Amino acid sequence: MGDALESQADEASYETIEHDWHEECGVFGVWRHPDAARLANYALYALQHRGQESAGIAVVDGPVLRHHRGMGLVSEAFTQADLAALTGHAAIGHVRYSTTGSSTLANAQPLVFAFRQGNLALAHNGNLVNAAQIRDQLDEEGSIFQSTSDTEVVAHLIARGGHRDFVENVRAGMKRIEGGYALVLLTNNCLVALRDPNGLRPLALGQLDGMHVVASETCAFDAIGASFVRDVEPGEMIVIDDHGLRAERFATAERKALCTFEYIYFARPDSDIDGMNVHLARKRLGRMLARTCPVEADVVTGVPDSSISAAIGFAEEAGIPYEIALVKNRYVGRTFIQPTQEQRREGVRLKLNAVRQVVEGKRVVIVDDSIVRGTTSARLIDLVRAAGATEAHMRISSPPVTHPCYYGIDTSDRTKLIAAHQSIAEIQKRIGADSLAYLTKEQMLEAFGMGDVKSHPFCNACFTGRYPTRLPAAPRALVGTSVAIRASRASRNGRE
């Protein structure tokens, strides 16, 4: 049995206007490349969708470790002079989306340390669910922290490993860590990549001109001309140095539980994760949605960008024309935020616009990947109605989101999840749609090609409340690359 937390994280008074989900980060690593920093920079551009608040690169050049971190997009974080100064033969890179209130340079990654075995840089995607407890213990023992990121806990545990060999210290430190993570570590002598025992967060291995690379998604390999080799397995550690590559277990692989939302929303459509192409997976979700939740309509459209593939699948299966009825302003930031309700409404009009000539006088089906708080969906319905749509139907290519995520997704606490306390009929009324329908968990898994929907390699905790790992109650919150958890009570839930 696992302990599922009722998150009581403080909510900010503002809302994001593109979407209520935020993936936590993207990571990249390369060993033995003559211009490692520029290669990492290109890869981070490809992973930009996984984080837009900060970016960083660390390189090693013999005994020296150099790094640069900056706030904003990759293009804002690095100048040509910054990259030119990052000379070295190996690099790791990171793009980050933080939780509310923690968008500071101190929490930008890679985090860099000097310890008795040399230099160490860390980049992390995910959330360490027991980091708060470990940090409290380390605090009591006299450890000094330079950030509020849960990632820093990993560095302290490695430094305390007690072994002469760095890899053995990594193995010892990770035995204490629970949660979902993809980690890349860089020292003067090696690059290490790890994926959590449940495979909650993605991580792939590639090759470029005989050199090894790792990344959160395969789209990063395409950007640098690398070839995909394989996915890093759950509980696997990849060690790359001048002697080559070796793969070994640092933990026993648990039941595989890749985050379903990697396919539904987070990953780029051109990425392949654990053998499945993201675009084709989303199209299958759309086709399933059309078969199970049909509606008479004139036009199908998707919410840019993550829902377009599902909308195309829906339109093809339903025999209804697909149209670009919603246009996104790509020059407004992903989390464009304004302090007042009126300014937020104005922000929506800046971010998205409906094409009147497409929707006027039409019955429109809007396909979206999820509904979290309901605010975004209501705005979409308002947009197409204001542009003259006679009917506005909403179709969701995932089940209702009823529980928060603790593995590296910035979701609201459960009280802010609309499906946790309202029925589908109530949500339909709330957002103003003429009809609303979701996929069930079983339909979603069938669309993913799972013949036996009871035995599958996914984490669906946000739909079911059944978490694949134990979630210890946290005495206080950590902010940074993790979801802030302020939990004072825990309920009992079985593992899925």
Burial-class residue 80 by CB neighbours within 10 Å (0-12, 13-18, 19+): exposed
Question: Which residue from 386, 432, 303, 263 is spatially nearest to 20, judged by alpha carbons?
Answer: 303
Structure tokens at 107: 């929490």
DSSP reduced 3-state for 167: helix
C-alpha of 47 from chain center: 10
Distance CA 136, CA 131 (A): 9
Q: What residues does 367 pair with on adjacent strands?
A: 302, 395
Handedness of CA 337, 483, 378, 324 (dihedral sign): positive
C-alpha of 325 from chain center: 27
* Distant-in-sequence, close-in-space partners of 455: CB < 8 Å, separation ≥ 6: none
> Is 25 in the active site?
yes
DSSP reduced 3-state for 46: helix
Q: DSSP secondary structure string, 241-306?
A: ETTEEEEEESS---S--EETHIIIIIS-TT-EETTEEHHHHHHHHHHHHHHHS----SEEEE-TTT
* Distant-in-sequence, close-in-space partners of 110: CB < 8 Å, separation ≥ 6: 56, 57, 58, 67, 69, 92, 93, 94, 121, 122, 123, 186
Please measure the distance between the N-terminal and C-terminal CA atoms of the chain and give it in whole angstroms.
9
* Residues 384 and 356: beta-carbon distance below 8 Å: no
* Distant-in-sequence, close-in-space partners of 315: CB < 8 Å, separation ≥ 6: 286, 290, 300, 321, 322
* Residues 179 and 469: beta-carbon distance below 8 Å: yes
Distance CA 328, CA 322 (A): 17
Beta strand spans in 313-362 (E): 326-328, 352-354
- Secondary element (H or E) of residue 391: strand 391-396
Strands 236-241 and 244-249: antiparallel
Distance CA 261, CA 200 (A): 10
Residues assigned a catalytic role: 25
